Homo-oligomer: A and B are copies of this chain.
Amino acid sequence: MLIVMKPNATASEIDAVVNVVEAVGFRAHPMPGATRTAIGITGNEGPVDGRRFENLAGVAEVIRVTKPYKLITLDLRPDKTVVRVGDATIGDSELAIIAGPCAIESREQAFAIAKTVHQSGVRFFRGCVWKPRTSPYTFQGLGDKGWEIMAAVREEFGLKIVTEAVEESHVDLIEKQGDVIQIGARNMQNFSLLKRAGRSRLPVLLKRGMAATLEEWLLAAEYIMAEGNYNVILCERGVRTFADHTRNTLDLSVVPAVQRLSHLPILVDPSHGTGKRDKVLPLSRAAVAVGADGC
């Protein structure tokens, strides 16, 4: 943490800040500059709440320095995580493709799509059976009946099944017959759901929240890993901006940004990321080109 003093801060104001810093058990490092003094703080174990300093006399600004990640970092684990799902992998040199309908609507629909998915060599089949819907009046997914269809698809085609868990009880069900637990964008900060997924032995596909910063997203992964589950796969799915030509703005720059900080594999979802059918193909190509582990 860094405390920046106002240009006209007096020596006694600077001393007072140093005293407060040391009173709460940290070390203060005053750095007098040409126009103003900054005071570095060290000795903190975790993040420091800067708000206790920002209203002291003479303080212009408090700047947070330390990033609060531990388990997701390349510092901890310099080699990339490869998530194994049976004989399939995500994060390996091979591209991982996850395909399937938005929602499972019927056995016929699911099997028809799964057949095409399987024939094209794709290993992962995704379909929602519990759908988080903005309106209470729209189709909420087939529920447990849909889950049986997913299990039948898995049996029939040997595809790895990816399904979103909307509540903790869904994780129980997925653990019995599924392969990958998806945490959706709306639940990226549903911390009790994250913790439950963190206690599972199944890999977790963690989608980025609609307005999540990189830091918040990585900390959501940290929640899962802190419970002992290290098989986390990140998935960029577009963020909310003023732009109105797509439903969300797909932020492909987050792929190399994640890779600079973390060992976790990262996928891109161009369907939700754009919400437009004719944009899926060009943005899938771009996702691969930018270095994603799949889409």
Contacts and interface: CB of A to CB of B under 8 A. Distances in A.
A127 to B, nearest CB: 17
A44, A211, A274, most chain B CB atoms within 10 A:
A211
Contacts of A246: 253, 257
Interface residues on A, range: 35 or more
Contact of A134 (B70, B189, B210): B189
Contacts of A219: 134-136
Interface in A66-93: 66-68, 70, 75
Interface string A153-190: 00000000000001100000000000000000011011
Contact of A45 (B34, B167, B214): B34
Interface stretch (A106-114, A115-123, A144-152, A236-244): A236-244
Nearest to A169: B192
A253 B274 contact: yes
A38 B65 contact: yes
A252 B65 contact: no
Interface in A34-68: 34-36, 38, 40, 42-47, 51, 54-55, 60-61, 63, 65-68
Contacts of A282: 255-256, 289-291
A210 B211 contact: yes
Contacts of A274: 253
A242 B241 contact: yes
A240, A273, A290, most chain B CB atoms within 10 A:
A290
Contacts of A12: none
Given A43-B34, A286-B290, A136 B226 contact: yes
Contacts of A192: 166-167
A7 interface: yes
A51 B277 CA distance: 8
Contacts of A60: 67
Contacts of A257: 245-246, 276, 279
Given A31-B40, A239-B241, 7 more contacts: A34-B43, A166-B191, A190-B190, A210-B211, A213-B243, A282-B289, A286-B289
Interface of A: 2, 4, 6-8, 29, 31-36, 38, 40, 42-47, 51, 54-55, 60-61, 63, 65-68, 70, 75, 132-138, 166-167, 186-187, 189-192, 210-211, 213-216, 219, 222-223, 226, 239-246, 249-257, 260, 273-274, 276-279, 282-283, 285-291
Q: Which 8 pairs, one residue from A and one from B, show the smallest C-beta to C-beta distance?
A: A211-B211, A289-B289, A33-B42, A186-B189, A286-B290, A286-B286, A285-B289, A214-B245
13 contacts: A29-B31, A40-B40, A47-B137, A134-B216, A134-B219, A166-B192, A213-B243, A214-B245, A240-B240, A245-B253, A250-B253, A283-B290, A286-B286
